[in-house]
Amino acid sequence: MASHIEWELYRSFLAVLTEGSLSAAARALGIAQPTVGRHVAALERALGMPLFTRSQTGLSPLESASSLRPLAEAMRSAAAALERAAASQGAGVRGVVRVTASEVIGVEVLPPIIAGLREAHRDLRIELVLSNRMQDLLQREADIAVRMVRPDQKALIARRIGRIEVGLHARRQYLERHGTPESAADLEAHTLIGFDQPSAFVRAAARSISLQREAFALRADSDLAQLALIRCGAGVGFCQVPIARREGLVRVLARRFRLSLDTWIVMHEDLRNSARCRVTFDALAEGLRAHLAQVASG
């Protein structure tokens, strides 16, 4: 037997959850505030439990509502993906593709690739979602992901790009002023740029190269901020070798500090027959390969 809870109620429910009030949710959905209120009331009646505590400042979710949130978000993601898929039907490469990548890749590497892609396909739209968390694809938050770990889910199509090397770099002017470190011990005299709150990957990496959080004189969680600091000569820090080459940064202690990120492009297999996704997938693969190849020739 099919349940008789209207899906429309879930949408209002989620909007209230994210916006924090009936009025704000109504604005976001483009409907009237009393309507949202009635939807929430109807959902509470249908589920047989209260979901929010009303107040004059808005609605605050009860635990019950919070626990339902991930599922409502899954519905929204699927609905959004469905619209993207529908908008791209028909012949030719057209419609919207959502691409997710890390901040560094998304800012430093992807833009020229995407620009070229757009040049070839004028009806293609790209949405770039930069995030370091990577639980996106199966939730349909994005169509294609550039990831630094081998994907292990069966339902995904993956193509390996190769290993992006990461090393310690500094600006030439900085090294001319402070000298070039020749050993790990020399680093103590330098301004080290590193993480503040380490992510899982960074923790593992830091262990493998034996650098502790305390070693860093300049700390920033944002990889982009770290890169900007290195680039303007603030000190010595980690960045991807291909980017460093392009920027004319000088690598130091290459033998001692060497990490590499296995890079993959991943797509949900449901999108295999989507022209826009295939084209984007291939363009990203080719562009990233060229980006990596730059190291060998540069």
What whole-number distance in Å separates Cα of residue 272 and Cα of residue 40? Answer: 38
> Which member of 103, 165, 270, 286 binds a copy of itself (CB under 8 A)?
270
Q: Tell me: does residue 5 bind a copy of itself (CB under 8 A).
A: yes
Nearer to a copy of itself, 28 or 220 (CB): 28
Stretch 21-60: interaction string toward a copy of itself, x if CB under 8 A = -------xxx----------------x-x-----------
Stretch 57-96: interaction string toward a copy of itself, x if CB under 8 A = -------x--xx-xxx-xx--xxxxxx-xxx-xx------
113: left (phi over 0), alpha (psi -120 to 50) or beta: alpha
Could you tell me whether strands 124-130 and 95-101 are parallel, antiparallel, or unpaired per DSSP bridges?
Answer: parallel
Could you tell me whether strands 192-194 and 218-219 are parallel, antiparallel, or unpaired per DSSP bridges?
Answer: parallel
Element (H, E) at 78: helix 63-87
What whole-number distance in Å separates Cα of residue 65 and Cα of residue 217? Answer: 43
Q: Which residues form the interface with DNA (CB under 7 A)?
A: 8, 21-24, 31-35, 37-39, 42, 54-59
Q: What's the closest the beta carbon of residue 12 comes to DNA, in angstroms?
A: 8
Chosen from a copy of itself, DNA, none, partner binding at 22 (C-beta under 5 to 8 Å by type): DNA
Would you say 10 and 72 are in contact if contact means Cβ atoms under 8 Å apart? yes
Q: What's the closest the beta carbon of residue 13 comes to a copy of itself, in angstroms?
A: 9
For tokens 């901040």, the residue is: 103
Stretch 134-153: interaction string toward a copy of itself, x if CB under 8 A = -x--x-x-----------xx
Output the DSSP codes for 138-182: GGTS-SEEEESS----TTEEEEEEEEEEEEEEE-HHHHHHH----
Interface with a copy of itself by CB under 8 A: which residues? 2-8, 10-11, 15, 28-30, 47, 49, 64, 67-68, 70-72, 74-75, 78-83, 85-87, 89-90, 135, 138, 140, 152-155, 270, 273-274
